[in-house]
Amino acid sequence: MLTKRIIPCLDIKDGRTVKGVNFIDLRDAGDPVELAEIYARSGADELVFLDISATEEKRKTLANLVRRVAEKVNIPFTVGGGISSVEDVDILLKNGADKVSINSSAVKRPELINELAAKFGSQCITVAIDAKQIKGQWMVHLVGGKVPTELNLFEWAKEVQERGAGEILFTSMNNDGTKAGFANEALAVLSSKLNIPIIASGGAGNMQHFTDTFIKGKADAALAASVFHFKEIEIKDLKEELRRNGVEVRL
């Protein structure tokens, strides 16, 4: 049985780690290099580094910062933000990223998923999907949640898988930063429709939320930011609690 993964997320803006609620009201959460090193030592299974304003500001992910983080960690490291070409991915992998995460660029040009999977392998390609439940329908949003689309979450996720993505990072905009728990109903539907791993994101507030997303939401990994950044939950304690609740994790 595959172990479930715990993944701290470093949302980066202007070279600093930030955290908001429902994708807005950002506050500073520290130096990303220092945080990455702490997480690698404290039992995180992977790290995700998202340059959250790269797409909006039409610039590339900070390759230099990626390299500095990669030098400090010995766990898989996914980088996203402003990636729109094979060349972008090549630069990030050469600077120490293990995987890349694409979002807006994949919606705008879905063939990009095929191209990246063919060039670098599916295991290297994560497609992030930010979705919001509106009148009972989960709709995909772009540019850090600012731009709504007509895409349905479940239909888009299926297409993403078919085009060669290795995993999906699903963030519920309704739950993000609320600390009220993950969107487990939507996650369970995704799990029933897909064969690739699904990372749950948005809503972690306590340890029970992680147990719930693995058991009820059928997630393969759970990503969180502020509960880790502000030391509300220690990863070691979380993993011990998950193990007590029958969730297989790497201790």
pLDDT tens digits, 144-158: 778 999 999 999 999
Q: How far apart, in Å, are the Cα atoms of 204 and each of 209, 210, 212, 236?
A: 6, 7, 10, 16
CB neighbour list of residue 248: distance below 8 Å, 6 or more residues apart: 1, 2, 3, 4
48 pLDDT higher than 90: yes
Over range 193-222, report the average pLDDT.
Answer: 97
Q: How confident is the model at residue 51 (pLDDT cuts 50, 70, 90)?
A: confident
Find the domain containing 216 and state its range: 5-244
Annotated catalytic residue: which of 11, 176, 212, 220? 11
Phi, psi of 26 (to 5 degrees): -75, 140
Q: How many domains does the chain have?
A: 1
DSSP code of residue 36:
H
Question: Mean pLDDT lowest for which of 1-15, 32-46, 146-160?
Answer: 1-15
Q: How confident is the model at residue 21 (pLDDT cuts 50, 70, 90)?
A: very low
Q: What is the CATH number of the domain that holds 162?
A: 3.20.20.70
Residue at 9 is within a domain: yes
Whether 11 is catalytic: yes
Annotated catalytic residue: which of 45, 130, 176, 212? 130
Question: Mean pLDDT lowest for which of 19-28, 29-38, 177-186, 235-244?
Answer: 19-28
Residue at 223 is within a domain: yes
Residue at 250 is within a domain: no
Whether 212 is catalytic: no
DSSP code of residue 225:
S
Residue at 251 is within a domain: no
